[in-house]
Amino acid sequence: MPGMMRIKLNAKSIKRYRQVIGVLFKYGFENLLERLNLAHLIARGVRLFRRGEAKVALLSPAERMRLAFEELGPTFIKLGQVLSTRSDIIPANYVAEFAKLQDMVPGFPLSEVRTQIRDQLGGEIEEFFSFFSEAPVAAASIAQVHRANLVTGEDVVVKVLRPGVEDSVETDIDILMGLAMLAERHFPGSETFDPMGLVKEFARTIRREMDLSREGRTIEKFALNFSGEPGLYFPAVYWKQTARGVLTLEYVNGIKVSDLAALDLAGFDRKLLARRGADFFLRQVLVHGFFHGDPHPGNVFIMPENVVCLLDYGMVGRLDAPSRAFLTDFLLAIINRDVDKIISILLYSGDITDIPDIRGLKRDLSDFLDNYYDVPPREAIVGKMLVDFIEIIASYRIVFRPDFMLLAKALMTIEGMGRTLDPAFDMVEHLRPFMEVAARERFSLGYIARDVGSHFQSYINLAKNLPDDIKEILNRINRNKFKIDLEHRGLDHLIRELDKSSNRLSSSLIIAALIVGSSLIMLTSKGPHLMGFPLLAMLGYSIAALIGLWLVLAILRSGRL
């Protein structure tokens, strides 16, 4: 496996590698495998005679990739769901397809639930619960949920991690790391999208999701951030019945925010709910810098007195103070249609240091803002504006931070729910007060003093460390230990093509030699005969014919005559 020398391998991962590569080949991604130098792992007979399943031959590449992810299971489904928020690095058609990925799978039996609870909580189900539903109320690739009652009588829901899922996910993460490493080596320009960094971020996300006790701590952090807020409710966490692989929460009896008929029948104020939900989310983002990453309608319940309860805290985003300041300036520039300000923010944000075609970017941003210029603020869809903007700058290879991408999708979901509850809902009206407060804080004496102090401390640290750094460099030069590592990109593909050409040329020479030699034997009529012909000549012609047939098939399969 020459292309995989630096990849972590063991018996389990090799088997999974072959499965992943086989599925990708099945759905017609052989060219991708060849670029990654992995096509040699497919059985030669399969490569010669099977180019992919007929049932997927007419599907688009995005649809085929979605089907491949679904067949590969939980880790790849989660990866697709994460990529569906990254319109800055993958095309829009892939984003749309990956958004369709659902990790609904059959539930695992109660016997395995018992084993998990025994291993995680140190006792039998009956020691903790007076009632425990045999069938799950929801099942996904990572965990499943059961209704239950504690022995003390509380009505709860219990989320139980799927047995063996952590081992399988870790194996898949190793494989994704290997594929990302190969992508960085064989795809010129891939450093713009940082495949290794993308996989590391995904690994962090899915590992956090598999730690159910972390989700419990997240709920309590949200509850602390909004303590004393009468319009919000957070389910209680029962820590005695919670561990890494088991999470026990208070059962919330409410109406789904998407059930408008039930909300109206119960007399809820839909306009108030829309305002409350938007304020709740914007405070998460712009005040606390800690927000729910998946606030879809199925996770939002409405309780008596127009109280909003948000469920499922497995996916959260974080924005530190500099990121919130960047976001505030950025949204203000979009709303005010200030193209120069937008480009200035992009250039001096700290993440982006160069834009090769500023004139083209400025033109495209002006066209983008012109499309929304005649749209009244009340009708403007902020989330969609943000997503459209990200697609434009992605064409200039400007990559946003992952949490910003998660925020854009969550904001669009929240705004959609607000407009469903109240057709006159205006997200811009809700955004302005938060951004004005943030802007005032930016110019306060306390903020300026902290900012100046932070930069001054950084310069002091730089001045203190600079002499030692220079001394270390000079010592390395004097000891002939100063090295610069160079890494070529894209040459492996050329080398493989040259190998193929030389192999085909060698095969052609062997065929020619066999034909010439067999013809000479045929003329001299030496050696044993078969049906009146020299046996050695017949054998030479047969071998030449087989090699020639194999060579023709290989050329036809490559599509390059």
- What per-residue confidence (pLDDT) applies to 57? 63
Alpha-carbon torsion angle 55, 58, 61, 66, nearest 10: -40
Give the residue among 279, 267, 270 at the shortest CA–CA distance from 232. Answer: 279
Helices 321-335 and 339-347, interaxial angle, to 10°?
160
Q: Which two tokens stand for residue 138?
A: 């929801």
* CA–CA distance, 59 with 442 (Å, rounded to integer): 51
- What per-residue confidence (pLDDT) applies to 45? 43
Stretch (H or E) spanning 391: helix 382-394
* CA–CA distance, 399 with 213 (Å, rounded to integer): 32
Instruction: Kindly tell me if the per-residue pLDDT of 260 is higher than 50.
Output: yes
CA angle 39, 40, 46 (to 5 degrees): 80
Helices 11-26 and 61-72, interaxial angle, to 10°?
150
Q: Residue 134, SS3? A: coil
Which one of 172, 174, 294, 403 is the catalytic residue?
A: 294
Neighbours of 205 (CB within 10 A): 21
**Among the listed ranges 228-232, 431-435, 448-452, 504-508, which one has the minimum average pLDDT value?**
448-452
pLDDT mean across residues, the chain: 80
Q: What is the value of pTM for the model shown?
A: 0.73
* CA–CA distance, 399 with 385 (Å, rounded to integer): 17
- What per-residue confidence (pLDDT) applies to 178? 86
Question: With pLDDT > 90 as the criterion, what percentage of the chain qualifies?
Answer: 23
Alpha-carbon torsion angle 226, 227, 232, 236, nearest 10: 110
pLDDT band at 333 (very low <50, low <70, confident <90, very high): confident
Query: In the Cβ-directed half-sphere of 171, how many Cα atoms lie within 13 Å?
Result: 19
Instruction: Kindly tell me if the per-residue pLDDT of 523 is higher than 90.
Output: no
Mean pLDDT of 493-522: 78
pLDDT in tens, 170-216: 999 988 988 888 887 777 666 667 788 888 888 988 898 899 999 99
Instruction: Kindly tell me if the per-residue pLDDT of 48 is higher than 50.
Output: no
**Beta carbons of 529 and 517 less than 8 angstroms apart:** no
* CA–CA distance, 161 with 158 (Å, rounded to integer): 10
Label each residue of 309-325 as H, E or C.
Answer: EECCCCCEEECCHHHHH
Instruction: Kindly tell me if the per-residue pLDDT of 5 is higher than 60.
Output: no
Give the residue among 230, 240, 327, 347 at the shortest CA–CA distance from 287. Answer: 327
* CA–CA distance, 221 with 192 (Å, rounded to integer): 35
Instruction: Kindly tell me if the per-residue pLDDT of 561 is higher than 80.
Output: no
The DSSP 8-state label assigned to residue 132 in this structure reads E
Give the residue among 308, 302, 307 at the shortest CA–CA distance from 256. Answer: 302
pLDDT in tens, 344-382: 777 665 455 455 677 787 788 788 777 766 666 555 567
* CA–CA distance, 149 with 98 (Å, rounded to integer): 37
Q: Is the dihedral of CA 107, 112, 114, 116 positive or negative?
A: negative
Among all chains, which residue has been given the structure tokens 């990529």? 83
* CA–CA distance, 68 with 27 (Å, rounded to integer): 7
* CA–CA distance, 194 with 172 (Å, rounded to integer): 19
Bridge-partner residues for 246, per DSSP?
A: 160, 243
pLDDT in tens, 86-136: 776 788 788 888 888 876 678 889 999 999 999 999 999 999 999 999 999
User: What residue type is assigned to position 342 of the chain?
Assistant: I
CB within 8 A of 42, min separation 6: which ones? 21, 22, 25, 30, 33
pLDDT in tens, 420-440: 999 888 887 788 787 777 777
Q: Which two tokens stand for residue 387?
A: 């997503």
294 among known catalytic residues? yes
Query: In the Cβ-directed half-sphere of 18, how many Cα atoms lie within 13 Å?
Result: 9
Mean pLDDT of 138-159: 92
Instruction: Kindly tell me if the per-residue pLDDT of 152 is higher than 80.
Output: yes
- What per-residue confidence (pLDDT) applies to 511? 82
* CA–CA distance, 180 with 505 (Å, rounded to integer): 33
- What per-residue confidence (pLDDT) applies to 350? 47
**Beta carbons of 445 and 301 less than 8 angstroms apart:** no
**Beta carbons of 332 and 324 less than 8 angstroms apart:** no
- What per-residue confidence (pLDDT) applies to 266? 93
Instruction: Kindly tell me if the per-residue pLDDT of 301 is higher than 70.
Output: yes
pLDDT in tens, 439-493: 777 677 776 777 777 777 778 887 888 888 788 778 877 777 767 666 565 566 6
Mean pLDDT of 411-427: 87
Instruction: Kindly tell me if the per-residue pLDDT of 6 is higher than 50.
Output: no
**Beta carbons of 306 and 272 less than 8 angstroms apart:** yes
- What per-residue confidence (pLDDT) applies to 259? 92
- What per-residue confidence (pLDDT) applies to 41? 60
- What per-residue confidence (pLDDT) applies to 116? 94
**Beta carbons of 254 and 296 less than 8 angstroms apart:** no
- What per-residue confidence (pLDDT) applies to 49? 44
CB within 8 A of 21, min separation 6: which ones? 33, 38, 41, 42
Instruction: Kindly tell me if the per-residue pLDDT of 4 is higher than 70.
Output: no
